[in-house]
Structure 1
Amino acid sequence: MRSQDVPRAFATPLDRPAYPPTRYRFTDREYLSITYRTDPEVLDRLLPEPLSVAEPLVRFEVMRMPDVTGLGDCTEAAQLVEVLYEGERAEFGLAMYVDSVPAISSGRELSAYPKKGGSPRLALEGDTLVGTLDYGSVRVATATMGFKHAPMDPAEARAELTLPTFMVQVVPGYDGKPRICDLVRTRITDITVKSAFRGPARLQLFAHALAPLADLPVHEIVDAWHILTDLTLGPGEPVHDYLAG
């Protein structure tokens, strides 16, 4: 490969990148999402400026993704904080755990999704939707929700799923110091809500050194929904450069 050809490579490995150069379309993406109230003091320590908290609300969700363009079949669990940015309601992606190397690589490199390896699962067991997250052999989250107890307005479901999401992208230089440190904004687009229901829910979080979801304890369940969609992830856009001072 000639030197002028190297910058044309999409990603590494050069001869067969870990993920393809495509826009990711999700078909039959299924969410189990539980919003809960937590300790505001803990959120203050974790949330980066210029984001702020109106209420100490956290969303734990498990997403079953059986058909993703270029990535195939994967499942993800995430912990997100409800925030305000310039007065607009949004979410901050605190951590995401995925069972797919291509999904982890593309999410971290193409955008700023805070993805790492994990073993999430979403399944219907009788009349109960069950979402779990294991880190290695250790259970760190169990979510349960009654299946299709109350219809959810599709417009409300669409509004919840298309909230702006903020993340911090940190790319170290070869000296170990940050080369990129940005607050990044992204948003879901091209969304079709196929099914949306609310139901009674419970969430248990278990302490773990490297998957510290339980650092944001569950004080009160505020909302829970189960949504089936087709959607496209929008590109990330840097909105704040922490290295600029």
Structure 2
Amino acid sequence: MKIEEVRQHVTTPLTAPAFAPVVPRFTNREYLNIVYRTDADALRAVVPEPLQVEEPLVRFEVMKMGDVSGYGPYTEAGQAIEVGFDGERGEYLHAMYLDNFPATASGREVSAYPKTVGSPNLYVDNGVLVGTLDYGTLRVATATMGYKHHQLDVREAERQITVPTFMLKTIPGYDGAPRVQELVRTEITDVVVKEAYTGPARLQLFQHVLAPLADLPVLEVVSASHIRTDLTLAPVKPVFDYLKGAQS
């Protein structure tokens, strides 16, 4: 394989890439979102500067991907923390757990999504929308929401899922020190909200050393939503370089 051909690849193995070189379109992505109030000091301990914690709010999400170009259907769960940066309000993606290796590899390598392995699930049980996350054989999160109790305004649903998203991109060098360390920003585009609901909700988090969601404890459930939508993820853009100590 010639040098010019190698340069056309973005992942390995070269003859069987870990993920397809496509911009994925998400069709029928189904969200269960539960926003909760947590301990402010716990948030400040995990949110990297220059992001700022303004309110101690976390969004626990379970997303069931109905169909994704390049990956097929899969399910994902995680935590997003409300933050501010340079006068803009957004969310810092703290942790994401999913059951699809190509989507995991692509999210980490091409972008900066903090993705790792997990077994999330989203389903309806006896009039209740249930979102769960298991790590190995152990349960680490259980979320429940009344199934389609009240319609949610489509514009509010779109606002909830299109806030700017910030992530930390770290790539180590061969000496073990960071070779790339940046704060990056992205957002969701081309959104079509098909259904949106709200209702009563509860969230339980369980202690686990490798899936420490419970380190951000649930003090109060603030709001909940159930949304089905089509969307596209915009490419990430660096906004702060930690190795230079300045904005990119």
TM-score tier, shorter chain, comes to: over 0.9
Shift of 1:82: 0.5
Shift of 1:126: 2.0
Q: Which amino acid is the alignment partner of residue 97 of structure 1?
A: Y
Report the Cα distance in structure 1 between the residues aligned to 2:25 and 2:189, rounded to whole angstroms.
10
- Determine helix, strand or coil for the equivalent of 2:185: strand
Aligned counterpart, 1:239: 239
- Determine helix, strand or coil for the equivalent of 2:73: strand
How many pairs were matched up?
A: 245
Aligned counterpart, 1:61: 61
Shift of 1:217: 0.3
Report the Cα distance in structure 1 between the residues aligned to 2:189 and 2:3, rounded to whole angstroms.
37
- 1:96-107 equivalences in 2 (<5 Å): 96-107=96-107
Aligned counterpart, 2:214: 214
Report the Cα distance in structure 2 between the residues aligned to 1:137 and 1:164, rounded to whole angstroms.
34
2:144 maps to 1:144: yes
2:178 maps to 1:178: yes
Shift of 1:11: 1.5
- Determine helix, strand or coil for the equivalent of 1:159: helix
Shift of 1:26: 0.4
Aligned counterpart, 2:35: 35
TM-score (norm 2): 0.97
- 1:1-245 equivalences in 2 (<5 Å): 1-245=1-245
Identity of aligned residues (%): 60
Q: Which runs of 4+ in 1 moved over 3 A?
A: none
Q: Which amino acid is the alignment partner of residue 28 of structure 2?
A: D
Shift of 1:68: 0.2
Report the Cα distance in structure 1 between the residues aligned to 2:9 and 2:60, rounded to whole angstroms.
36
Shift of 1:4: 3.2
**Deviations, residues 162-181 of structure 1 (Å, cap 9, x unaligned):** 00000000000111110000
Report the Cα distance in structure 1 between the residues aligned to 2:114 and 2:218, rounded to whole angstroms.
22
TM-score (norm 1): 0.99
Measured on the aligned residues, the alpha-carbon RMSD in Å equals 0.7
**Deviations, residues 183-236 of structure 1 (Å, cap 9, x unaligned):** 010000000000000010000000000000000000000000000000001101
**Deviations, residues 7-64 of structure 1 (Å, cap 9, x unaligned):** 1223111012111111110000000000000000111111111111111000001000
Shift of 1:5: 2.2
Q: Which amino acid is the alignment partner of residue 63 of structure 2?
A: M
Report the Cα distance in structure 1 between the residues aligned to 2:10 and 2:225, rounded to whole angstroms.
37
Report the Cα distance in structure 2 between the residues aligned to 1:189 and 1:64, rounded to whole angstroms.
18
